């Protein structure tokens, strides 16, 4: 492939790519199946009409129950967390607000954050991280000039969980300044150690999804939650024109999944933890500098030549990894370990072969 | 309900509203079922992973075959026609182009058009219509200052089909000036008389959907087609960050529906035609001034006091209709006749009772 083609490589070059013999540490996609309850919803489904734009009332009732002081009116069901974030940013961009039309986010960041901010007409501003976690001093010095901040703990791509003290302080600073916090909590059920803390407050917009907890990526069911009734109303108004209701069948599947026993999530978590232990030890044994993953299913080793690493691993060893540069971290690469143990081991062997120059 | 609440009435007040004894001429939602093939796809479906952002290759192959000089690369599957329009406008708004950041559209218009244009940062500009069809002189005088135009034939809300001569002339004018044409053809299979003409050309973006032809509104499957590879690529890039793949199961259902025998569409058309004849005659018999519907399933009578008509019909006669003002036509109301014959007749009786002041 020419340099020009390599320069055009992006995560979307790999999303959905499946091929003979390829081991993909690329897309953040669970390989474990959804709870069987989700598919049981399919057999009896016969409705085909528009649903409420805001989402299925029973599903919003279920989700509202997970948040303080909430009713179904605080929840909007969306086409994945992606649409929730897009709509929230577009609505916030159209408002008068404190600060410039800027959005603060940690770097490394999930690759969509700067893009959706720019698409909404907002400028991304980046907070320094130390060992994959937010530098609170840098955050404090930059936040006052911003309209909103995005928090993502556990984090894609770093796999790290923010300190509770940091999250409480972010909550305090933003509440005082009236700055929106978009808290992307799609990995909140995938934590291996440390405490987490879910940010709350009148200007908080929590973004979540059934993709990771319930392995339902392809069905695109996410949601946002907020105590700000004007923001919820504006999001619903915008969605009325930009996509209408979220797929009604996927909402039924999500409702069925949400009623699966808690043991489903706990069993999955044990599988993820074993994979985390394996890949962390494997990459460390290869002599790579990595942050110990605490949540989600990503790990970001530092490598000597990230472009060569990603490109030659793909071409010569059939292993997909993602460039750290796509996440604002040009000295690293990102591996998703959403793979069974055998594939992780085989992938680690191929990485060893690449590093040994074989 | 207070005046303040009445002023907040909008189409989204009624979408998905179902109630005892209500007859709804509101939402543009077919009541006829999708082809059985669509539901057969459900029983055997077990995939749950991300799909390609651009959409299921087999579905794009099927759809690409309906357009000249096309391959699957010319098609993007979206969350209904709404998302196709939203993405296309957002991509066009971000480009350099001839003309100001304005979008030309006929008035009366589908109520989402001005909103999605504004959300994308584009200013809507309105073309005069004569008897519900585009005034070509007015079009010609306004188009050169615009970045894009939206065409919708058959039209929601007017139910009218543009003259072939008008469409050919629009194609010629826009091609010469390098102006994008977004041709919303979601009603192209629901035509009762007159010829239609599907606009084509290098800057044409055709928008379509499974919602109307295959009665699959709630599943949100639309698509766009274009011969402009950069536009397609930019739409896919944007969708990567704003919603990712369209629901994979709904795409399988759409593929199955698209393989249903052509007789399915023809049978539906006969049902729609009978309803069209009934409501057109009924409203004419009530002495109302209406444009004869030629396609889609809407009719727009002129009424003396549209606000009173919509509000009192709803409150006192349990009949939902939409204000023409929501479509840029303040002297009219819009009725969707996506109802069985008995309900249309009952609705007409209630409208007669309202007009008689009973």
The reply to whether the predicted model has a pTM over 0.80 is yes
Contact A335, A310 (CB under 8 A): no
Torsion angle of the four alpha carbons B94, B59, B69, B105, in this order, in degrees rounded to the nearest 10 = -40
**Interface membership of A49 toward B (CB under 8 Å):** yes
Surface of B (137-176) touching A: CB under 8 A: none
Provide, as residue numbers in chain A, all residues whose Cβ is less than 8 Å from the Cβ of B247: 79, 218-220, 247, 249-250
**Interface membership of A215 toward B (CB under 8 Å):** yes
pLDDT digits (tens, 9 = 90+) for A244-256: 999 999 999 999 9
State the ipTM, two decimals: 0.94
pLDDT at A116 over 50: yes
Q: How far is CA A213 from CA A159, A260, A294, in A?
A: 15, 11, 16
Which DSSP category does B77 fall into? Answer: E
pLDDT at A12 over 80: no
Which regions in chain B score pLDDT beneath 50? Answer: 1-2, 4-5
pLDDT digits (tens, 9 = 90+) for B214-270: 999 999 999 999 999 999 999 999 999 999 999 999 999 999 999 999 999 999 999
What pLDDT, on a 0 to 100 scale, did the predictor assign at position B13? 65
**Interface membership of B22 toward A (CB under 8 Å):** no
What pLDDT, on a 0 to 100 scale, did the predictor assign at position B1? 38
B23 has which bridge partners? B319
What pLDDT, on a 0 to 100 scale, did the predictor assign at position B252? 96
Distance CA B138, CA B106 (A): 10
Contact A168, A201 (CB under 8 A): no
Chain A residue with the nearest C-alpha to that of B214: A48
What pLDDT, on a 0 to 100 scale, did the predictor assign at position A1? 38
pLDDT at A17 over 80: no
pLDDT at A357 over 60: yes
Distance CA B247, CA B41 (A): 14
What pLDDT, on a 0 to 100 scale, did the predictor assign at position B27? 85
Distance CA B72, CA B55 (A): 9
Surface of A (228-267) touching B: CB under 8 A: 236-238, 240-250
Q: How far is B354 from chain A, CA to nearest CA, in Å?
A: 28
Least confident of A189-198, A256-265, B212-221: A189-198
Burial class (CB in 10 A: 0-12, 13-18, 19+), A314: buried
A238/B119 CB distance under 8 A: yes
What pLDDT, on a 0 to 100 scale, did the predictor assign at position A4? 46
Distance CA A112, CA A115 (A): 5
**Exposure pattern of B14-35 as b/e (b: 16+ CB <10 Å)?**
bbbeeeeeebbbbbbbbeeebb
What pLDDT, on a 0 to 100 scale, did the predictor assign at position A294? 97
pLDDT at A285 over 70: yes
A12/B236 CB distance under 8 A: yes
Provide, as residue numbers in chain B, all residues whose Cβ is less than 8 Å from the Cβ of A217: 48-50
Chain B residue with the nearest C-alpha to that of A79: B243
- Cβ of A304: how many Cβ atoms within 10 Å? 9
């Amino acid at each position: 492939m020419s340099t020009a083609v390599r320069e055009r490589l992006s995560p979307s070059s790999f999303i959905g790519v499946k091929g003979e013999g390829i081991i993909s540490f690329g897309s953040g996609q669970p390989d474990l199946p959804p709870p069987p309850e989700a598919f049981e919803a399919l057999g009896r489904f016969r409705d085909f009409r528009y649903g409420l734009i805001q989402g299925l009332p029973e599903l919003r009732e279920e989700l509202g129950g997970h948040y303080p002081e909430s009713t179904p009116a605080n929840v909007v069901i969306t086409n994945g967390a992606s649409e929730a974030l897009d709509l929230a940013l577009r609505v916030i961009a159209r408002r008068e607000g404190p600060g410039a039309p800027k959005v603060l986010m940690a770097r490394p960041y999930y690759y969509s954050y700067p893009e959706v901010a720019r698409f909404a007409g907002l400028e991304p501003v980046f907070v320094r991280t130390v060992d994959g976690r937010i530098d609170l001093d840098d955050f404090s010095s930059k936040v006052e000039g911003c309209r909103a901040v995005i928090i993502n703990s556990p984090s894609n791509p770093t796999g790290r969980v923010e300190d509770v003290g940091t999250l409480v302080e972010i909550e305090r600073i933003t509440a005082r300044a009236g700055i929106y916090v978009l808290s992307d909590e799609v990995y909140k059920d995938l934590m291996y150690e440390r405490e987490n803390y879910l940010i709350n407050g009148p200007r908080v917009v929590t973004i979540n999804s059934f993709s990771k907890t319930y392995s339902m990526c392809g069905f695109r069911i996410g949601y946002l939650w907020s105590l700000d009734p004007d923001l919820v109303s504006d999001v619903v108004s915008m969605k009325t024109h930009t996509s209408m209701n979220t797929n009604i069948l996927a909402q039924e599947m999500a409702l069925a999944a949400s009623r699966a026993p808690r043991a489903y999530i706990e069993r999955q978590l044990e599988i993820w933890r074993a994979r985390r232990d394996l890949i962390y030890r494997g990459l460390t044994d290869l002599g790579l500098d990595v942050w110990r993953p605490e949540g989600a299913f990503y790990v970001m080793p530092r490598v000597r030549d990230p472009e060569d690493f990603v490109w030659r691993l793909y071409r010569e060893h059939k292993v997909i990894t993602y460039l750290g540069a796509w996440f604002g971290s040009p000295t690293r690469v990102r591996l998703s370990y959403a793979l069974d143990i055998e594939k992780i081991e085989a992938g680690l062997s191929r990485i060893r072969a690449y590093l040994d120059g074989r």
